[in-house]
Amino acid sequence: MYTEFFHLKEMPFSIAPDPRFFYMSDRHKEALTHLTYGLQGAGGFIMLTGEVGTGKTTVSRALIQELTNTTVVGYIHNPAVSELELLAILCDEFKLDYDQHNLSLKVLFDLLHHFLLANCQQDKACVVIIDEAQLLSTAALEQLRLLTNLDVEHKKLLHIVLIGQPELQQKLKLPELRQLAQRITARYHLLPLTELELVSYVAYRLSIASGNPGLFSRKILKLIHRHTAGVPRLVNLVCDKALYYAFKTRNDKITSQHIQAAVTAVAITTPVKTHKNAQRLAALAVTVCLGLVITGFQFGLFNFVEDDAAVTQAGKVTPIIVTTNTDTQLARARNEVMSDKALFTDIKSARQRSTATQFLYKEWGYDIALNNATCRNAKYASLRCLQRQGNYAELVQYNLPAVVRLFDNLGDGYYATLLSITPLGVELQLSSSHILVSQAWFEQYWSGDFTLFWTAPSRFKNSLKENDKGELIRWLDRNISAALGEQAASGARFDWPLMKKVMRFQQQSGLSADGIVGPQTMMTVVHYADSTVPKLNVATHLPEEK
């Protein structure tokens, strides 16, 4: 094989999980931090989502390695089972004996309850990690929620880590699962590797196998990123095949021809797309079947609502166009329904993120050329860029303009700039159209992806916490005290009184009151400190109602 030809100790790009080859990119580190933080809480659910092959399972294995020996861990690989089978699997994971001829939900639930109580009395924590959690049925998820109800002296007896594909987020939006969704104390969406991270990723895996990091030139790595979109599993497959084809031609360097042959061999024809493409194909298939009865577009069969069910025209929410800044004309505009078809031209020109990002820069007072309107260039405008997947409530909490990814009636993605969320509605800039839509319309068509800019003092890194020192602490105390209407201290040390002040500020702002000034707390402090920061709850582009 090619290992001898390239002087490798072993195959560096095997897709078999091996902790030695686990490269912790910044995103993987952040995901692990979120999971670890969630397990330190009072209990409930923690969620990690990401596309296929982004490294979710590897992160979960790293999490297990970080757990102490006082933590009992149960790991479920295949949750596509009934609620009764799920409880039985949990009992098996915890090595609990039960009568297989006398199985019932009550018997197994009580058995698990006694086990969790016994663990708690021995000061042991109990964690269940469920991989491929998007396969869980609604009934099984509800059974898990009931398990997290178990507590003693306000301390939950069980943590459950849900790891799944993005479909899991959509499933948790179902009305019958709203109680479970509200109990997710920490969540993170794992994105693929950036081009720079891919360079480090390939070099790292080659170094573990004692390989030459120059095997893949920067130009070749850029080509690999273009074909794989940075998904680690696909990167492994392409790199492995490319080494094989280079070995066959006796080349000591990887060429673009080797990459193209590898891409063809692993059946990658275009950059990886999101799970919505699969949903679109399913929806199209359904429409063909129903086409004999009704016309799909007339009745919104292609709309991707939360439960993926078809909707009728009566239940379909359409946007309202805003073309003027006078109160009278705005009131008239609210009564003029604008169909999705009327927005077709603007949607076609909004397929790329850059136009929406350019408008986002304008919200912050910067005129950026279209080809420079990227997240990466935010640092040159003294801004920081945050990319996340979340829900409507999180957007309201951040209170900052954002680039959002929406889906049209065919399930194809396009981008808009979210300008404001007010009683008037959700204000969007879509290419050349300025539109006002209802919250229902926005949530129905929004993918959950958003990108926002934020700002912080230049000396702020990732967090401020107890015992930190410096002028930045003095700045923090001054601005948090002003927001609370309290007197600022004169010291420059993050002491206990300041920590309590931070916790009061976090509680007042609806944040997790942990006393640590992380990015979201810092964003909120800056909201109070800097009146020039654009805010979602201020509709600067629309007239106020009289």
Contact 91, 112 (CB under 8 A): yes
What's the rounded Cα separation, in Å, for the pair 519 and 530?
A: 16
pLDDT above 90 (res 415): yes
pLDDT above 60 (res 191): yes
- Which CATH architecture fits 468-532? Orthogonal Bundle (1.10)
What's the rounded Cα separation, in Å, for the pair 272 and 329?
A: 44
Q: Which CATH number fits domain 26-190: 1.10.10.10, 2.70.70.10, 1.10.1370.20, 3.40.50.300?
A: 3.40.50.300
- What confidence tier does 34 reach under pLDDT thresholds 50, 70, 90? confident
Contact 321, 338 (CB under 8 A): yes
What's the rounded Cα separation, in Å, for the pair 60 and 133?
A: 13
What's the rounded Cα separation, in Å, for the pair 24 and 46?
A: 20
* Extended beta strands in 397-529, E state: 402-407, 413-422, 425-430, 433-437, 446-454
Helix or strand (DSSP H, E) at 224:
helix 218-228
- What confidence tier does 22 reach under pLDDT thresholds 50, 70, 90? confident
- What confidence tier does 218 reach under pLDDT thresholds 50, 70, 90? very high
Q: What is the mean pLDDT of residues 46-75?
A: 87
Q: For the domain 2-18+194-266, what is the CATH code?
A: 1.10.8.60
- The residues near 471 (Cβ < 8 Å, ≥ 6 apart) are 459, 492
What's the rounded Cα separation, in Å, for the pair 147 and 112?
A: 8
CATH 1.10.101.10 range(s) for the chain read 468-532
What's the rounded Cα separation, in Å, for the pair 178 and 147?
A: 16
What's the rounded Cα separation, in Å, for the pair 251 and 376?
A: 35
204 burial level (CB within 10 Å; 0-12, 13-18, 19+): middle
Give the model confidence (pLDDT) of 228-276 as tens digits: 989 999 999 999 999 999 999 998 889 999 999 999 888 765 444 444 4
pLDDT above 90 (res 67): no
CATH 1.10.8.60 range(s) for the chain read 2-18+194-266
Rg of the chain's alpha carbons, rounded to an integer? 26
Q: What are phi and psi of 268, to 5 degrees?
A: -100, 115
394: which 2 tokens? Answer: 């999180």
Reduced to 3 states (helix: H, G, I; strand: E, B; else coil), residue 538 is coil
Q: What is the mean pLDDT of residues 177-187?
A: 84
Contact 201, 224 (CB under 8 A): no
- Which CATH architecture fits 343-455? Alpha-Beta Complex (3.90)
According to the model, what pLDDT value does residue 338 have?
42
Contact 356, 403 (CB under 8 A): yes
CATH 3.40.50.300 range(s) for the chain read 26-190
Average pLDDT along the chain: 80
Query: According to the 3-state scheme, what is the secondary structure of 142-208?
Result: HHHHHHHCCEECCEECCEEEEEECCHHHHHCCCHHHHHHHCCEEEEEEECCCCHHHHHHHHHHHHHH
What's the rounded Cα separation, in Å, for the pair 41 and 229?
A: 34
CATH 3.90.70.10 range(s) for the chain read 343-455
Closest CA to 131 of 169, 158, 90, 162: 162
User: Is the pTM above the cut of 0.75?
Assistant: no
Amino acid identity at 79: P
Q: What is the mean pLDDT of residues 321-345?
A: 43
CA 422-426-430 angle, to 5 degrees, is: 140
